[in-house]
A and B are shown apart, each in its own frame.
Chain A
Amino acid sequence: MSLIKIDHLKLSIGDAPVLRDISLEVAPGEVVGLLGPNGAGKTTTIAAALGLLRPQGGTVRLMGGDPWTGGAALRCRVGVLPDPNGFYDWMTAPDYLAFFADLHSATNDAAVIARRMDRVGLAPRRGQLIGTFSRGMRQRLGLARALIGDPHLLALDEPTNGLDPRGRREMHDLLLDFAEQGVGILLCSHILDDVERLCSRVCIIDGGRTVAQGALADLLAAQNSKMRFRLELAGPLPPGGAVAAHVRVLHLAADYAIVDVDAHVGPPEAWRELFFLGWPIVAIAPEGGGLEALYLALTGGAVPGVPVQERAA
Chain B
Amino acid sequence: MSPALRIARKEAGELVLGVRGQIWLAVTTAVLSGFSLLLVGSQELSLLDNAQVVYDMAGLVTALGALLAVIAGIDAIGGERERGSLLPLLLAPVPRGSILAGKLGGPVAAWGVMLALAAPYFWAVGSTGQNLVSGMVALLVLGTPVVLGFGFLGVALGAWMQSGRTALSVALTGLVLSASPLLLGPSLRQSAIGRMFDAVNPFSAALNGFDAVIIDSQGAFAQAGHAAVAVAWLALTAWAAAAAMRRVSR
Interface residues of chain A, those whose CB is within 8 Å of chain B, are 47, 50, 52-53, 72-76, 78, 80, 82, 84-90, 99-100, 102-105, 142, 145, 149
Contact = CB atoms under 8 A, between A and B. Distances in A.
A104 B2 CA distance: 10
Contacts of A89: 83
Majority secondary structure of chain B interface residues (helix, strand, loop or mixed): helix
Interface residues of B, number: 25
A76 B95 CA distance: 11
Contact of A82 (B14, B18, B91, B94): B91
B18 A87 contact: no
B67 to A, nearest CB: 22
A86 B85 contact: yes
A50 B91 contact: yes
B95 A72 contact: yes
Nearest to B248: A52
B109 interface: no
Contacts of B7: 103
Given A47-B249, A53-B249, A103-B3, A80 B88 contact: yes
B94 A72 contact: yes
Interface of B: 1, 3, 6-7, 10, 14, 18-19, 80, 83-96, 249-250
A178 B103 CA distance: 34
A103 B93 contact: yes
Contacts of A87: 84-85, 88
B76 to A, nearest CB: 12
B88 A99 contact: no
A84 B84 contact: yes
A90 B91 CA distance: 21
B102 to A, nearest CB: 9
16 contacts: A47-B249, A52-B250, A53-B249, A72-B93, A74-B93, A80-B91, A82-B91, A86-B83, A87-B84, A87-B85, A100-B88, A102-B3, A103-B89, A103-B92, A104-B93, A145-B88
B84 to A, nearest CB: 3
Contacts, number: 66
B87 A99 contact: no
Contacts of A100: 88, 92
Given A52-B250, A53-B249, A72-B93, A90 B88 contact: no
Nearest to B5: A102
Contact of B93 (A76, A85, A88, A142): A76
Given A75-B92, A103-B93, A90 B87 contact: no
B13 to A, nearest CB: 9
Nearest to A89: B83
A142 B88 CA distance: 9
B93 A82 contact: no
Contacts of A74: 93
A73 B93 CA distance: 6
Given A47-B249, A47-B250, A82-B87, A99 B94 contact: no
